[in-house]
Amino acid sequence: MPDVSPNFGERRGGVSPSLIVLHYTGMQSCQAAFDRLCDPLAEVSAHYLISETGRVHALVPEPMRAWHAGQGAWAGIDDINSHSIGIELANPGDAPFAAPQMLALERLLAEIVVRWSIAAHRVIGHSDMAPLRKRDPGPRFDWRRLAHARLSVWPDDAATTPAPGLATPAAFDQAALRFGYPAGVGHAALLAAFRARFRPGAVGDVDAQDIAVMRQLGDTYPVDPRPPAP
């Protein structure tokens, strides 16, 4: 399919993509999202848009820098657009993701992670890298399904055992930073982003299970302190 959005540029510093960021469009139709992502006045884009029926629209060439992520950070990277491939899923934000759409996403992800040697734990949500601003792809997105296909990550059964000691915001935040969540966004935003992805439906103050899951993820997939190679 042709690349149709004019909203892209060169990746800064000559880097290659090492992250994949998943979004929902938050619009009422795929066509409305397509039109906006291709509108030069909107100055937004993504590499791909996947409709509810599973049609994949290729909008920006993968080697180029699409404008999908905005301000945020992950694993010490603050220019997410230069380091990532962005995939938009047509969804208003409060609806389940259709089965054909999820299947198309899995097929696309399987190709991208091989093409760019992207590790499963570097497939993230928009809310992961921008927890103060974004909520997508939201608590209705099936991250566990992607993890079963080795296209993202999910905590193992050991993480369901509550962590010993006090469940404190500081303990949770430290583990969240080790996994890759950005610094300086505040405990409440980190907890909300984490729960939307890994413990949908959990409410209230941080608890021992939140910390157990977050520590297990951070210990298994710690942030690499080295800068990404170009």
Q: Based on the number of CB atoms within 10 Å of its own CB, is 160 exposed (0-12), middle (13-18) or buried (19 or more)?
A: exposed
Q: Are 69 and 86 in contact (CB under 8 A)?
A: yes
List C-alpha distances in Å: 124 to 10, 22, 80: 22, 6, 11
Q: Are 205 and 197 in contact (CB under 8 A)?
A: no
Catalytic residue check, 62:
no
Q: Which two tokens stand for residue 186?
A: 């505040």
User: What residues contact residue 182 under an 8 Å CB cut-off, 6+ apart?
Assistant: 72, 73, 74, 129, 130, 131
* Marked catalytic residue, from 10, 43, 88, 111: 88
Number of H helices, E strands in the chain: 8, 7
Q: Which residues are catalytic?
A: 88
